[in-house]
Structure 1
Amino acid sequence: MTTTTPRAATEQWTAQGDLPEAASWYGQYDTAVPLGNEKKQVLVVAGADGRSAALAKAWLFTPGATPETPGTWSAAGQVPGGARRLHTATLLADGDVLVTGGTAAPGLSPALKSAAVYHPKTNTWTPADDLHEARWGHAAVRTADNKVLVCGGYTVRSQDSARALASAELYHPGDRSWTPLKPMNDARGGHTALAFPDGRVLVCGGTAPIAPGREAALAFCELYTPAIPAWTPTGNLTRPRSRHQALHLSATTALVIGGSTPGVPGDGTYDPYALIDAELYDLATQKWTPRTAVRGGRGHHRAVPLGTGRVLVIGGTGDTEDAAGYQSVLVYDTARDAWAPAAGLATGRWAFAAAALSGTEVLVTGGTVRSGLAAAGPQADDLTRTTEIFRTGDGS
């Protein structure tokens, strides 16, 4: 691994105004949504409290006028359809935000069908048509034609078990309706989905329950091609993984980072196979190529683009029971296939919200700090309301 010393003068985290309500976000697609407006505002929606009870409120972050001025939070109403966690929040082409599904209770609980749209210009919510199938832990991605593809996730199978879903559906912003699509080849939840400019959507990894409280990670990937329309298998990941992060590097390449593999123990214990490693997908060849790995497993982290060709990998944890969140932050240079340490978080955390404010600024808020025996009390995880912004200060 390439190692450098963090540039304290130009690369640092600064404290912002606290999130009004402590919350954690355990999914890949329930995290913060940058609205892309002139104020560089960011929306966070619902989530879970320290006892895994679902929350209903939404909050809007507005950065300070200067780097020296802390940003602030303001209320963004409550999501129609009630409290939820393990939902998705997706930015639409017109600047609105679509929220779908989730579950409203702790533990194994029924999935939600409800969906709603947030309107930043008026700070209001409008209900959308219900999903065709209730789901939590699903993926949602805006497609090249500005619709939203929702796929996979979980629902209750029995009193003590869940089942993964293969179903998929497409959201139409014009009339807020849904169209069922052909199902994926493999049922999965905890996966990622990326939309390419040519219209195809890549789905990779995830898990499928195999027994009460146990699930196995997947290496299988598939492509949705709207022109057919159908799902077709594509190249497999080099190792099974779930709860990973995925992002575009170009119009035809994608990067997957970290996660848990090859299986996810049901008791939340440390997975020795979890690595901060990366894989590169080439749409032309439909193959994955392993990239340099860094020792030290973590999941429930966040990976955010940081300027051209760099990715900021933030926080996370090696397990989710009797655990403490990582302060560790790394920068992955995609051109050199090299990792370097960056300035660490002031508050270690996992299952938090993160969003890029610009090519040189990244917002982090909320999340879980300690769980189980590491927490102050046995009945609830320790969450944080703290908010931090990472700045490179040099435009690189």
Structure 2
Amino acid sequence: MTRRTNPTAGLHRAAPSGAAFPPPGAWFPAGELPSPRRWFGPAEGAVPLADGGALVAGGALADGVPTAETLLYDPVATTWTGTGPLGTARHSHSGTVLADGTVLVAGGIGTSGSPAAGPLASAEVYDPATGVWTPTAGDMTTARSLHAATLLADGRVLVTGGAGDRAPRAPGRSLFSAELFDPATGEWTPAAPMTDSRLAHPQVPLQDGRVLAAGGRRSIGRDRGIGQGFCELYDPEADAWTRTGSLAAARAGHQATLLADGTVLVTGGDSPGIRFERGFVPFSQWRTERYDPATGAWTAGENMPEGRTCHRAVALPSGQVLVLGGTDSATRDTGYASAALYDPLTRGWTATGGMATNRYLCTATPLPDGSVLATGGTVRSGRATTAPGKDVLTATTEVFWI
């Protein structure tokens, strides 16, 4: 891999209105959302738009209430403005930018009368030119939340796993099923099922067109789950899944990032064997692993400066990876403000500027100018709050300057 000497060359730099360019490695405030919110799923949150800004659709407000609100980020004014709302309020859904610049939102958790809520099968597409959402021609084949979604080379979208009902007596379990959305027809069709059920798992499109699903949470009963190390590959041409090398450490709450040389870096996650509803471990994962598609094997990587779970990782134009925010898997009481950079050439980590707001279950979006937008998230939870059961969320957003 050859790193560009000037990773932002040719990019339109959107400096905040009336301000000088910040120094590289610094964060600057980027306005506030109308209300605090967070994103539980690996595939939801803000997505980049061709005009240099970003789109936020849905999310979880206080007490886990889903919203239909849709917002646009202006990178020059550093402000958020409303646009057409979703047809259905949802969180724990997926958001995917399609080849034509429109945005697909699928599944998630909705409301079916307070306090009942369940997974959704509905999906809708946003047109930036009109600011309007339109339902897809048909619903998904399976109602699901906390699933993964990946844009394939042929323009279709692969949706896998998530939480849903396997059978009338098995609600809220991790799913094996997968499906494909075709933007040309607006319809959903079943895809070959995965070899392992999983939810909240990272999914990465590889350079050869295959898709890697790495780890994730696996159900061991209703609302109970453990991290897993099993990984598999999807071949779109054959519509088939095959097992590949397993992670050395079982992980959930982790991130998987495609590097410029075609390998995949996995960072963080809950410690091995944690039982999500009542288990206790002292730390989150600080060990990293790197996957080579040519061999199908994972090898140990350099340790992060600190362990973290429920964080975000973004590949930068320089080839480096920015890891930000997160929390510990023992208590999840407070989010982290810290950030670190991984250099694939030296395989080393260095600390970089920290955010002004500590956060986890946030979203991190690579913008067209090379900067990274961090949005919303959980600030404090559990014993770190003044009112037990009332998590503290943030409406703040920040931009990492490169």
List aligned pairs for 1:188-267, cutoff 5 A: 188-250=198-260, 252-267=262-277
**Which residue of structure 2 lines up, in the alignment, with residue 130 of structure 1?**
139
From the superposition, tell whether residues 360 and 276 of structure 1 become closer, same or farther in structure 2 (CA, over 3 Å).
farther
What is the alpha-carbon distance in structure 1 between the residues aligned to residue 371 and residue 45 of structure 2?
17
1:298 offset after TM fit, Å?
Answer: 1.4
**Which residue of structure 1 lines up, in the alignment, with residue 302 of structure 2?**
292
What is the alpha-carbon distance in structure 1 between the residues aligned to residue 262 and residue 24 of structure 2?
32
273-282 vs 96-105, which moves further: 273-282
1:273 offset after TM fit, Å?
Answer: 5.3
From the superposition, tell whether residues 72 and 124 of structure 1 become closer, same or farther in structure 2 (CA, over 3 Å).
same
Partner residue of 2:110 out of 104, 111, 115: 104
**Which residue of structure 1 lines up, in the alignment, with residue 80 of structure 2?**
73
C-alpha contact 1:145 1:199 (8 A) present in aligned 2 = no
C-alpha contact 1:322 1:375 (8 A) present in aligned 2 = no
The one-letter code sitting in structure 2 at the alignment partner of 1:146 is: G
351-360 vs 322-331, which moves further: 351-360
Aligned residues: 377
160-169 vs 279-288, which moves further: 160-169
What is the alpha-carbon distance in structure 2 between the residues aligned to residue 320 and residue 34 of structure 1?
33
- Is 1:369 matched with 2:375? no
From the superposition, tell whether residues 71 and 268 of structure 1 become closer, same or farther in structure 2 (CA, over 3 Å).
farther
1:45-69, CA deviations, whole angstroms, 9 ceiling, x for partnerless residues? 11111211111111110101xxxxx
324-333 vs 256-265, which moves further: 256-265
1:290-328, CA deviations, whole angstroms, 9 ceiling, x for partnerless residues? 101135331111111122221110011104856111111
C-alpha contact 2:48 2:368 (8 A) present in aligned 1 = no
What is the alpha-carbon distance in structure 2 between the residues aligned to residue 270 and residue 288 of structure 1?
27
240-249 vs 138-147, which moves further: 240-249
- Is 1:152 matched with 2:161? yes
Partner residue of 1:121 out of 126, 129, 132: 129
C-alpha contact 2:319 2:344 (8 A) present in aligned 1 = yes
The one-letter code sitting in structure 1 at the alignment partner of 2:35 is: E
From the superposition, tell whether residues 13 and 252 of structure 1 become closer, same or farther in structure 2 (CA, over 3 Å).
closer
Partner SS for 1:43? strand
Partner residue of 1:12 out of 26, 31, 48: 26
- Is 1:182 matched with 2:188? no
The one-letter code sitting in structure 2 at the alignment partner of 1:154 is: A
185-194 vs 153-162, which moves further: 153-162
Partner SS for 2:349? strand
- Is 1:139 matched with 2:148? yes
What is the alpha-carbon distance in structure 2 between the residues aligned to residue 309 and residue 289 of structure 1?
19
**Which residue of structure 2 lines up, in the alignment, with residue 4 of structure 1?**
none
Partner SS for 1:326? coil
The one-letter code sitting in structure 2 at the alignment partner of 1:147 is: R
The one-letter code sitting in structure 2 at the alignment partner of 1:95 is: G
The one-letter code sitting in structure 2 at the alignment partner of 1:47 is: G
C-alpha contact 1:269 1:321 (8 A) present in aligned 2 = no
From the superposition, tell whether residues 54 and 285 of structure 1 become closer, same or farther in structure 2 (CA, over 3 Å).
same
The one-letter code sitting in structure 2 at the alignment partner of 1:31 is: G
From the superposition, tell whether residues 323 and 159 of structure 1 become closer, same or farther in structure 2 (CA, over 3 Å).
farther
List aligned pairs for 1:237-386, cutoff 5 A: 237-250=247-260, 252-267=262-277, 271-272=281-282, 274-294=284-304, 296-319=306-329, 321=331, 323-358=333-368, 360-386=370-396
272-281 vs 295-304, which moves further: 272-281
Partner residue of 1:57 out of 62, 69, 81: 69
Partner SS for 2:383? helix
The one-letter code sitting in structure 1 at the alignment partner of 2:79 is: T
What is the alpha-carbon distance in structure 2 between the residues aligned to residue 53 and residue 228 of structure 1?
40
What is the alpha-carbon distance in structure 1 between the residues aligned to residue 184 and residue 332 of structure 2?
46
TM-score, structure 1 as length reference? 0.90
What is the alpha-carbon distance in structure 1 between the residues aligned to residue 139 and residue 330 of structure 2?
32
Partner SS for 2:80? strand
1:193 offset after TM fit, Å?
Answer: 1.2
1:28 offset after TM fit, Å?
Answer: 0.8
1:48-96, CA deviations, whole angstroms, 9 ceiling, x for partnerless residues? 11211111111110101xxxxx51111122212x111110001100001
TM-score, structure 2 as length reference? 0.88
Runs of at least 5 residues in structure 2 that lack an aligned partner in the other structure = 1-21
- Is 1:93 matched with 2:96? no
The one-letter code sitting in structure 2 at the alignment partner of 1:16 is: A
1:212 offset after TM fit, Å?
Answer: 3.9
Partner SS for 1:56? coil
Partner SS for 1:51? helix
What is the alpha-carbon distance in structure 1 between the residues aligned to residue 325 and residue 117 of structure 2?
28
What is the alpha-carbon distance in structure 1 between the residues aligned to residue 222 and residue 301 of structure 2?
34
C-alpha contact 2:283 2:328 (8 A) present in aligned 1 = no
From the superposition, tell whether residues 11 and 250 of structure 1 become closer, same or farther in structure 2 (CA, over 3 Å).
closer
By percentage of residues, which structure has more strand? 1
1:213 offset after TM fit, Å?
Answer: 3.8
Partner SS for 1:175? coil
Partner residue of 1:33 out of 47, 58, 74: 47
Identity of aligned residues (%): 42
1:109 offset after TM fit, Å?
Answer: 4.0
